[in-house]
Structure 1
Amino acid sequence: MSLRRQVLLFGVGGAIGLVVDAGVVQALVSWGHWNPYLARVVSFLAAATATWLWNRRYTFAQRHSGRSLATEWAHWIALMSVGAVVNYAAYAAILLFYPWLHRWPAVAVAASSAAASLVNFATARGVLFKRAKTST
């Protein structure tokens, strides 16, 4: 699969992750009355799991990690945590500068997600799914 196609599919996975991330954080804040900073930790785990499922099935279908599913998921979460640090820093800064977004954290999630996308793709492709699948 071409790099261009992988980037496109990774973008689709990112869009799915964004919907999950924003939906979970908004639901926890609006209905659960959670703190928007703590809610973001939970929403990250949900979104990262959704993107892992998408990307292992579609984006990196012709590549493998050489790990069990549980180990691969844990490695994915660890790698996506690098991008999450970038993402969370931008999210916190947005909430700091625009306090009215505490009621609408999904907006801050969307704005901060773009910053982490490139970091996430590079680590997913270059570290976890770095080997092409071979026929057995």
Structure 2
Amino acid sequence: MKRLFSELLLFGLVGTAGFIADTAVLYLLRDALGNYWARAVSFLCAVFVTWVLNRNLTFRRKTSNKTARQEFLHYFAMMLAGGTVNYLAYAALVTWSPIVQRWPVLGVAAGSLAGMVVNYLQLRLVMYKHDKHTGG
């Protein structure tokens, strides 16, 4: 139970780092690309940041049994499900909430929370389900 709690805590911290990367890129690009396209780019950046951190921190005792390249491509594909939930929540709020239109970070936060559960379950139950030392 302690290990699971530690894993959830690290996953949340990695998610926070991803949120910061996501928001920074969004704000950097939104004037040039608009809120929707800037978010698409910022999402890609957040996926890369969270993959590196989850691989080396959260699930460091686990393995995906793939090369780094294969693992990233699999990770990215899996994150599309959580990313879809994330982006739909963000887009709905940006579309219908004047407050979120003005402060898109609120939409990023809502989207991040919505996608977090989907992402964790995919990683825990599908990608990083094998212990490195025992294989099981």
TM-score computed with the length of structure 2 as normaliser: 0.92
Does the aligned pair in 2 maintain the 1:23–1:106 contact within 8 Å? no
Shift of 1:7: 0.5
C-alpha distance in 1 between matches for 2:102 and 2:28: 11
Unaligned 5+ runs, structure 2: none
Instruction: Answer 1 or 2: higher relative contact order, Cα 8 Å, separation at least 6.
Output: 1
CA RMSD of aligned residues (A): 1.4
Q: 1:63-97 deviations in whole A, cap 9, x for unaligned?
A: 00010111101111111111001001100110111
Identity of aligned residues (%): 39
Unaligned 5+ runs, structure 1: none
Partner of 1:108: 107
Partner of 1:92: 91
Alignment map for 1:49-60 (pairs within 5 Å): 49-60=48-59
C-alpha distance in 1 between matches for 2:93 and 2:15: 20
Partner of 1:4: 5
Tell whether 2:45 aligns with 1:71: no
C-alpha distance in 2 between matches for 1:113 and 1:127: 20
TM-score computed with the length of structure 1 as normaliser: 0.92
Partner of 2:131: 132
Number of residue equivalences: 133
